[in-house]
Structure 1
Amino acid sequence: MSVSLYQSGMSGLLAAQQQLATTGHNISNVNTDGYNRQRAEQNATVGLNNGNNYIGGGTYIQDITRLYDQFSHKEQITNQSKLGNADSLHARLTQLDQVMSTSGNAVVGSLDQFYQALNGVADNPNDSGLRSIVLNQANTLSNDFNQLTNNLDQMTKSINGEIEQVASKISEISQELAKINETIMHSQQGGQPNDLLDKRDQLIGELSNYTQVNTVKDANNVMTVMIGQGTTLVAGITPMTLQVNAGDPDSQQTELRLVSGSSSVALKGSTLGGSLAASFEFRDEHLSQTRTEIDRLAMAISSTLNDSQASGLDLNGLQGVNIFTDINSTQLQQGRVLAHSGNSGSTQAEITITDVSKLTTDEFEIRFEGGNFTLYNLTSGSSENLGPPILPSGGTHKPSSPDYGFSFVETGTPAAGDKFTIIPTKNSAALMQTTLTDGNAIAASTAIGVTPSTNNVSDGKIEIINVMNPEDAKSFTGTGLTVDVVESAPGSGIFDYRVFDTATPPALITSGNYNAGDSEVVDLPPLPGTPAFQIEISGNLVGSGTNAREEFSINDAFGVGNGKHAVAMAKTQEVGVTNGGKETFSKSLAVSTSVVGAKASNAELTADTAQALFTQAYNRNQSTSGVNLDEEAANLLKFQQAYQAASQIISTANTIFDTILAAVR
């Protein structure tokens, strides 16, 4: 009996000791990330048959189990991935919002100050000091565009650096997981390695912050880890790594590849989930969209003011030259075409801008296939056949359905499969410079003007609508031109016009007619000469009396104090140019800034929601797997008492045994 009692006491003592050790282990790891609390599973030993009944033989610890709920853990890592994605995107969009609110507002301010200075020249066109202010403000405007795009460039570099860091970290985790898998595989026969399983799950949790994670375990508890849409990162004891390569064709658009041994496959970063997908989404969508809009605005401002400048005369009576960098400079045209590294042909290509108002923020690609160049709009999914290459000297291909505001210019011989990424607005803000250096070269004066006869009675009018060459226009008008208009027959609704010079007798230069309600655009000088300017005749020009003519004079308008063209240039601030001519310069930038702000605000709401969902999932998982100090303290007391009681059983067994020995002596 004493032996049986002794065995029961020893088993209870050992069981209590293991219970205490397990409880102590739980308490020690209360602050250990990824730790799942453990429990010593205690069972009674099978009783011994003494002939009439079974006498208990004590207890034993069957196993140290890990309190783990795979469903709540899966929910936690899923929400961890969503939180990592939302937090990262929110942080980046907030940063972009700050850049647009500071550097973007600087552009708005310098643009307003430029136009204020231009209005000053319109009021006092001969004031050299005011002309210098216009140049200073033009320099400030171009510098502010340079600074804004530089800030966007820095964000791109920062994102690329973050992508490299995350890819490196994922590769490290992959290798660690493979090692743990191998250790688990070799240790399964000696019981479940709970702490190794915790470490593995902790790594899975860390990985889920960077990317979406799915796992599958085999019969040996060895785990296969998949990221994104099912790409295997760890196959049992074999790890794969992530590699970051320069983008093709844009080296700044870095790309990911999954490397296994000597082979690798491309990964689409935006589909990986977690913070990694957020980095790609931000860089390739939100940041790229904002950059394109800023480039388009810089191009629109440069093009509009350069074109307007070219229509007027400077202080020396010469045609105005560009204020800002020519939007179709060789450097800009060539930079808009990015040839893919796999191209085998000799084609050199450029993009020429034909109409800034038609430029969109869409992405394009031109492919040479089936003997033709085909333009693909990667944003809308549409395509257009641009025709075959123009050999041997090359040629121009202009999209027409729709007209995107640019032409594709190619030389050389393409090869089948050659591809070119087209970015029509690329580098417009970064390369925007104030090229005008002499304030006297500001074309504040108009070359010609129209004056109606004092005898005119109708509301019809003649306007100068386009001056292609103000010097030639000034020269052609000479001592003046006369335009008269008369209705062919009373009530006919057909109006005849004639243009004369002021020679004696006047010589007819050109004539024609138009219908009531329409207007007529007239090139002067007419073909076959080279037009220097255009006039538009409109309205019902019916004079007072039968067959009475309405007359207008067109004269050289250049002279001291003429600031009319500066007035016209200043009015470009109020004209819709971008987005199909719907938005002014200021509105275009305001829309871009507000869109970024709205995205940042929405991202904040998404991040808050993701945080709440993650917290709920984490708490649910912790309710099963987390260490509760109050519960462990109670267990500690309970197992301590059990240990003391088991010790007392052993002491009692010893006393009985001593009594028996004394009785038989």
Structure 2
Amino acid sequence: MSLNAIMNTANSGLTAAQTQLRVVSDNVSNVNTPGYVRKIAEQQTLVSMGVGSGVEVARIRLATDRFLQAASFNAGADAARQSVRYELYDRLQGLFGDPGGDNGFFQGVDKAFAAFAAAAEDPASSPRRQEALFRTQALFDEGNRIAGQIQAVREDADGRIQSAVDQANSLLQQIEALNIEIARSSAVGGDGSGAETAQAALIGQLSELMDVRVSTRSVGGVSIRTGAGVLLAGEGHATLEYNRAGTVNAETAFNEIWVTEPRGQKRPLLESITSGEIKGLVETRDIEAPQVAERLAELLTRVADELNRAHNANSSVPAPTSLTGRNVGQSLEAALTGFTGNTAVAVTNTSGQVQARADIVFGAGTITINGTATTPAGFLATLNAELGGAATASFSNGVLSLSATGTNGVVVADDPSNPSNKIGRGFSHFFGLNDLITSDRPAIYQTGLTTSSPHGFTPGETMTLRFTGETGAKIRDLSVAIPAGGTVGDLLTALNDPATGVGRFGSFVLDSTDGTLRFNALNTPAPRISVLEDRTTQVPSGVSITELFGIGGGVRASRGDGFSMRTDIRQSPSLLGLARFDFAAGVGATALTSGDGRGALGLADAGQVNAAFQSAGDSLGGQISASRYASELAGDIGGRAALTKTAMDSAVALHSEAAARQRAEEGVNLDEELVLMTTYQQAFNASARLIQAARDLYDILLGMV
């Protein structure tokens, strides 16, 4: 070997050792830097003409373990998803107060019924009446507040989705910029490890927003895809698009989150991710919070309905001068069809004596008033004639009203032995003539309609439905027009049409027992239905199809913030109906007695009467008392909060373990670096001594010449 070859070999060793020492120095100086990945300088032998000619550092790379990195990213995405779910669900639980305390919402349900029981013991006591009214109003006020706060949680989640999308776009831009820098360094043989370290940190942040898969490119840098394979970075960067909804209410239809791949293909993001903060926020906004809102609204609806059932069977003493019902969402003829049993409309003076009375008998397709036969179309005229001017009945915009003349009052009472009945409601209860709790929107979806009933909507009016899949991504928007046929059966046919209606997803079915409309899905899991727009208006009530039948969870949940106590009763507790009308009393006899508290017992027992709860959220409903439903809802919310906490703790622990193992493999070990430093110092010294030896040989040879 020539002296030149020896010098070249020594110089290569000296350069390689210097590079190795610089890498070790970088590792040691960053031992406590979060996210720093240890550098490794890969050294190889130089060969010339088949003969070794020294060493060189081929490249400097990061000590990245792709398996551990993928495990850490996946665990981080799940931890972020479960953490945000727990955070928001814990807020939802907190809205209801402590389930085991004395001042929570659910305790207020039993307190309201207990206050009526106390009023029954002394019905003439004004303080006890006021206490019962206060407790009842407080219950619905608290329900209104909670319903509003649930929507505030959803609005917060929606805003955070927008922030997460903006953050993801920024991260993808930075990751792709570093891809270019790393590829350039790789092409010229430079050190791109610094850019790779920065890129790994950015990918870690991205993985907390959505689950990602990372692969190394042959030219340097990485390709990033979602869990379902949508390209996010590697050939340019993808762009995410989302426009938040602004003010959120129960019926808000949220916009789609789109991802446009580098090649220009646009896809729904939610179809391609299964974890991450965005997924957790969408789940809370679109599934968990709406389920709580729907169940709360159903509870408040049944509490109100059972109180109204009891109050419609009662009367104040003296009786109120007028009774104004609720909007039943149909014509009077349709509303009267299907009634059975007997009821009476009576006019009483301030002493409770009957001044006039009209006894209504509903038979199989027949109606008589004081023995005079009539029809649903002639009902009002016949009733007014039989009342002889002592009171007047009217029907306008879906609302039945009764008004007595002068200082007299009006009472509606059922025959105890054969009470009037339609879909489990008496005449007064069905029309809401003496309701204690009112609502600013339709809240009862047991319409009593049949397929042969007139629907009352104008042909050509439209409603737009959105079907959403299990992931939260939109499946399809459908616009359905009111058909020319005027019956509810014709309306169902149009709704269920496979070409222009919902037939490809399932069918709407009208319950033959109570007129409730439900959707039967063809596939499992069933798609979620929301109403984007409803331009239908029923004549004469003015309600839409959505409001009449409660289509979609949004309109059902919106009931929760619309209940309140009747204004006149709230202002004058003496109007609270605690007395029971004596159905046997004829004209001239006393039918209402001051101090009668029998009706208060009905109000007190309203919480224990089995009510027909409809499906809401993830509850199938069924026959259950309001108090029992409240207890089960409290337990369900608490149980779910505990489950989300457990899921979060497990996911965070798994992420911590995965990150610890990754740090152990990729992080800096000072003992190892000390060994490497010693080794490369010795290699450096050896190369320097070899150079010195070659120099000495040069000097000797030159001296011999």
Shorter-chain TM-score tier: 0.5 to 0.7
Partner of 2:648: 607
> Is 1:626 the equivalent of 2:667?
yes
Q: 2:463–2:480: 8 Å Cα contact kept in structure 1?
A: no
**What pairs up with 1:522-541 in 2 under 5 angstroms?**
none
Q: 2:250–2:558: 8 Å Cα contact kept in structure 1?
A: no
Partner of 1:301: 303
> Is 1:585 the equivalent of 2:626?
yes
Q: 2:210–2:277: 8 Å Cα contact kept in structure 1?
A: yes
Shift of 1:126: 1.5
Shift of 1:445: 0.5
Distance 2:59 2:217 in 1: 21
Partner of 1:220: 219
Distance 2:555 2:47 in 1: 84
Partner of 1:46: 47
Provide the secondary structure at the position in 1 that maps to 2:438: coil
**What pairs up with 1:467-546 in 2 under 5 angstroms?**
473=583, 477-478=586-587
Shift of 1:18: 0.6
Provide the secondary structure at the position in 2 that maps to 1:251: coil
Partner of 1:312: 314
> Is 1:171 the equivalent of 2:169?
yes
5+ residue gaps, structure 1: 334-343, 350-364, 388-395, 403-407, 449-472, 481-555
**What pairs up with 1:371-382 in 2 under 5 angstroms?**
371=483, 373-374=491-492, 382=506
- Alignment equivalent of 2:461, drawn from 334, 342, 346: 346
**What pairs up with 1:106-125 in 2 under 5 angstroms?**
106-125=104-123
Distance 2:637 2:215 in 1: 40
Shift of 1:162: 1.4
Counterpart of 1:241 in structure 2: which amino acid? L
The 3 A distance-change label for structure 1 pair 331 and 222 is: farther
Partner of 2:202: 203
Shift of 1:174: 1.6
Percent identity between matched residues is 21
Partner of 1:432: 563
Provide the secondary structure at the position in 1 that maps to 2:243: strand
Provide the secondary structure at the position in 2 that maps to 1:428: helix
Distance 2:272 2:134 in 1: 44
Q: 2:151–2:250: 8 Å Cα contact kept in structure 1?
A: no
- Alignment equivalent of 1:441, drawn from 565, 575, 578: 575
Partner of 1:191: 189
Provide the secondary structure at the position in 2 that maps to 1:30: coil
Q: 2:154–2:284: 8 Å Cα contact kept in structure 1?
A: no
Distance 1:329 1:401 in 2: 19
Shift of 1:136: 1.9
Q: 2:157–2:281: 8 Å Cα contact kept in structure 1?
A: yes
Distance 1:204 1:385 in 2: 49
Q: 1:224–1:234: 8 Å Cα contact kept in structure 2?
A: yes
Provide the secondary structure at the position in 1 that maps to 2:213: strand
Distance 1:216 1:43 in 2: 26
Counterpart of 2:213 in structure 1: which amino acid? N
Distance 1:224 1:43 in 2: 28
Distance 2:519 2:76 in 1: 46
5+ residue gaps, structure 2: 321-410, 412-432, 447-458, 465-476, 484-489, 521-533, 614-620
Distance 1:100 1:330 in 2: 22
The one-character-per-residue Cα deviations of 1:294-342 (angstroms, maximum 9, x if unpaired) are 0111111122212321221113133484332237559999xxxxxxxxx
The one-character-per-residue Cα deviations of 1:590-612 (angstroms, maximum 9, x if unpaired) are 21221122222223333333334
Distance 1:366 1:190 in 2: 57
Partner of 1:534: none
> Is 1:325 the equivalent of 2:323?
no
Distance 2:479 2:648 in 1: 40
- Alignment equivalent of 2:606, drawn from 527, 547, 572: 572
The 3 A distance-change label for structure 1 pair 85 and 398 is: closer
> Is 1:561 the equivalent of 2:595?
yes
The 3 A distance-change label for structure 1 pair 384 and 19 is: same
The 3 A distance-change label for structure 1 pair 187 and 373 is: farther
- Alignment equivalent of 1:285, drawn from 284, 287, 308: 287
The 3 A distance-change label for structure 1 pair 440 and 230 is: same
Counterpart of 1:43 in structure 2: which amino acid? Q
Partner of 2:26: 25
- What is the TM-score normalised by the length of structure 1? 0.68
Shift of 1:17: 0.6
The one-character-per-residue Cα deviations of 1:268-303 (angstroms, maximum 9, x if unpaired) are 379442121111112222111111010111111122
Q: 1:81–1:275: 8 Å Cα contact kept in structure 2?
A: yes
Provide the secondary structure at the position in 2 that maps to 1:146: helix
Shift of 1:559: 0.9
Partner of 1:486: none
**What pairs up with 1:628-647 in 2 under 5 angstroms?**
628-647=669-688
**Which has the higher mean CA deviation after the structures are superposed, 289-298 or 211-220?**
211-220
- What is the TM-score normalised by the length of structure 2? 0.64
Provide the secondary structure at the position in 2 that maps to 1:429: helix
Shift of 1:650: 2.9
Provide the secondary structure at the position in 1 that maps to 2:257: strand
Q: 2:123–2:578: 8 Å Cα contact kept in structure 1?
A: yes
Partner of 1:16: 17
Shift of 1:632: 0.9
Counterpart of 2:598 in structure 1: which amino acid? K
Distance 1:171 1:401 in 2: 39
Counterpart of 1:431 in structure 2: which amino acid? G
Provide the secondary structure at the position in 2 that maps to 1:60: strand
**What pairs up with 1:244-263 in 2 under 5 angstroms?**
244-246=243-245, 250-251=251-252, 253-259=254-260
Q: 1:212–1:273: 8 Å Cα contact kept in structure 2?
A: yes
The one-character-per-residue Cα deviations of 1:366-398 (angstroms, maximum 9, x if unpaired) are 9627955446899x97523679xxxxxxxx986
Distance 1:44 1:400 in 2: 77
Provide the secondary structure at the position in 2 that maps to 1:433: strand
Shift of 1:190: 1.1
Counterpart of 1:399 in structure 2: which amino acid? L
Partner of 2:658: 617
Distance 2:588 2:317 in 1: 21
Distance 1:581 1:561 in 2: 37
Q: Which has the larger radius of gyration?
A: 1
Provide the secondary structure at the position in 1 that maps to 2:124: coil
The 3 A distance-change label for structure 1 pair 6 and 429 is: same
Counterpart of 2:175 in structure 1: which amino acid? L
Distance 1:608 1:399 in 2: 41
Shift of 1:572: 0.7
Distance 1:370 1:153 in 2: 31
Partner of 2:92: 96
The 3 A distance-change label for structure 1 pair 188 and 642 is: closer
Two-structure CA RMSD over aligned residues (Å)? 4.1
Distance 1:168 1:102 in 2: 37
Shift of 1:240: 1.5
Shift of 1:614: 3.0
The 3 A distance-change label for structure 1 pair 205 and 566 is: same
The 3 A distance-change label for structure 1 pair 234 and 141 is: same
Q: 1:149–1:291: 8 Å Cα contact kept in structure 2?
A: yes
- Alignment equivalent of 1:156, drawn from 133, 154, 157: 154
Q: 1:229–1:271: 8 Å Cα contact kept in structure 2?
A: yes
Distance 1:185 1:373 in 2: 63
Q: 2:213–2:226: 8 Å Cα contact kept in structure 1?
A: yes
Distance 2:157 2:31 in 1: 36
The 3 A distance-change label for structure 1 pair 225 and 373 is: farther
